[in-house]
Amino acid sequence: MKISVTSSLVIGAPAARVWSILADEFETVAQWASTIPVSTHNPLAVHVPKGASTGGRSCTVPGFGVTDERFTRFDADRRALTYSVTSTKMPGFVSQVHNSWQVDDFGDGRCTVTSTVEAVASGLLGLLAAPMLRIQFARTIRPVLADLSAYAETGRVSARKERLLSRQAAR
């Protein structure tokens, strides 16, 4: 069974700026995304697609564990990328997860960013867990879009990310 969650947001920043954050700064997503406390270079992602700055990244994502993310598609001309995701907390009934990003330019200093998370789940457990997986994917991606918007528009992290960073610093 295929599970898919798509979210889009209009961002008041040029498409080139947003694409640079998503693609050129791929490994440092944790600097601005509130749902991702840690991101690093993925030494296992040895294939670097043409135009990409890296082959992938590793993130720590609450609820998903430590991820191994690798580009499966990268098209700088179309401002589109897709990467596979495996994680330490991936249930056995989930065989594939991919996240795709597309940045579409309005030409007036604004763009639309769309993220689609797709997973393949199998068996009875996959069928029963599909609604919860959709909710978990949505809970992860919607704040990332809002954080991306704040970061692209202002050059500063979102208020949500700032609160999380303040809490971490206080510990």
Please give the average per-residue pLDDT across 31-57, as a whole number.
95
Whole-angstrom Cα distance, residue 8 to residue 6? 7
- Which run of H or of E encompasses 113? strand 111-121
Tokens coding 142: 């919607």
Nearest to 11 by CA among 89, 139, 114: 114
Q: Is the pLDDT of residue 171 over 80?
A: no
The whole-model pTM stands at 0.93
The hierarchical CATH code for the domain 2-170 is 3.30.530.20
> Are the C-beta atoms of residues 144 and 160 closer than 8 Å to each other?
no
Is the pLDDT score of 48 beyond 80? yes
| Beta carbons within 10 angstroms of residue 144's beta carbon | 22
